[in-house]
Structure 1
Amino acid sequence: MQLQAHTFISSSSSSHLTKHNLNHVPPFTTLASVNKPLYSTRYVFRRIGPGQFPVLKRIDPLGVVNSNSEGQNPSTSVEKMRNVVEHICLLKAKVDLSDEDEKDMLDFLYTCQYQMRGILAISLGRISDQNLEGYTHAVFMRLQKKEDLSKFYENPFYLGVLKDHVTPYCHEFTYFDYESEVEDDILPIFRKGEEFNFGVEYILLIGFKDSSLGEVADDALTSFAKLLMEFPSLVVQFTKGSNFNPDSKDYTHAVVIRFRSSDAFDIFMGSSEYKDIWMSKFHPITEKKLSISFSVDPVGKELM
């Protein structure tokens, strides 16, 4: 049985939430009203014991979605975090790539998570908009640690997938890797559950000027994280970090954001708050930038 070339997402509970429908939301020029009554508070129901509360999503200053039990005092709660390694692969497909060959390529890349240890999550798809560097497809993977990443690059199954199912269809692919943190809980780590069922995967690669690396670049990324942190009605999860892949040195940092929907993505990217922070914090210190996105569709109903 072939897998569809999309993220496998599921819910660990028989109680499913209703997907946010933002199709009728009027265009925003600012984000000021996004978290007001138009967007009600969202809950994710996990496997919890009798008498326990539903889990309420919130976002911490590190820029990842976290959770608190309803009624718990956030000021007295310290979230336990877990280090992860984020892996990005961007592909340039040949112009004559057929739909059948595209599906074959993405299916086999997606299957890597079942054949190799250490892969915690994966999403992939055709890039929605054209970009200056001509990338056509993107793959995002989350691994447990750097040691797993080293084994991943050398794994015979992965090398066979590249040889037989990627290289025949693509004339170039590029890797980016960075370390980050997520909440030490099964759903945010594995990117499973209703919150990840739909949305847009957004990948931002930034090449900061050498003179800005360090405190100035960190300040820009922290400001961006704080802005994303304020709008859980738009953002499910995001991570950021320094790119340590030696073969893609042009980009010093990477950010991956899962937006709840294409409307949420458009609202945030078109907002004056995002544009202001980019012009004031990023534009003066950025030498190179690449942003791509692809849609995520639900596949399957059981947590694997």
Structure 2
Amino acid sequence: MAVGVQGEAGVGLGFGEVAGRVGKIRTAVESVIEGKSEAVRLALIVMLAEGHLLIEDVPGVGKTMLAKTLARAVDGTVRRVQFTPDLLPSDITGVSVYHQERREFEFVPGPVFANLLVGDEINRASPKTQSALLECMEERQVTVDGTTYPLERPFMVIATQNPVEMEGTYPLPEAQRDRFTARISMGYPSPSAELDMLDTHSRTSPLDSLAPAATVTEVRGLIETVRGVHTAPAVKQYAVDMVNATRNHPELRLGASPRATLQLVRAARARAALEEREYVLPDDLQALAVPVLAHRLLTTAEAQVERRRPEQIVSELVARLPVRG
């Protein structure tokens, strides 16, 4: 077994230990979220990559339940915000309140000051409110009235959104979408999984009895180990080639950003660690290309008329791009 880096808990974590400890979290989450193994796996990869997750799908398929279950499985501070059209930026970041007796302002932290922020139906709030998350998602800090407050690590935003075609939704700004490491869809459950759900969820919610499978300190140690996964120069070049191909594609009017390249490599390291490898393979980049890149891309008008989706374009790019590494 390869030896990992030194974790915050003072214990050197091997990559086999990463897979084992994350496996416990995964088992806990899947005890509530049935039949969605790949969605759960991607959510855990994003957590280990120190990223943020966007879950997009129609109402009622378990988007919020996945977010809440992952939050419960990790014994950290969790806050949930229901995004609505009248939500204000200060409702998320916090506000300075003036005390008449002391004649001074005191900062009252908002729900963003947590290890895990669950943003429910994020695209039902106005773009102004959505933009309140930009600084905290990228820089892990919040600035209110000229004062900057650091956020506790790990910090992760798990946001759900309804398809933009539905009424009462605001499309997320490009800058906001780019800060989400990956976007996943839940999809409808299989008939057998839906039948099992009737037995497990009809009387009580299994989320109520879910016990944490990891502490915040353990998660920090896992993240530190994932940072030590080796990425060969050829594999890094393959990631750059993959992202650069989106910028030159005739059906795309907006390609992926350099931030996308960085997050693709980070996610690939997390995937490699879950496979008990101390190095990244091109297969890791290929497997993560669609969830990490597709939501950042904008198609041309001609591609929209032909109903060409970014997911299709990314899959085709990956299939024909020469492999490095």
The answer, yes or no, to whether TM exceeds 0.5 is no
Compare CA radii of gyration and give the structure with the larger one: 2
Using the size of structure 1 for normalisation, the TM-score is: 0.30
| Larger relative contact order (Cα-Cα within 8 Å, sequence gap ≥ 6) | 1
Using the size of structure 2 for normalisation, the TM-score is: 0.29
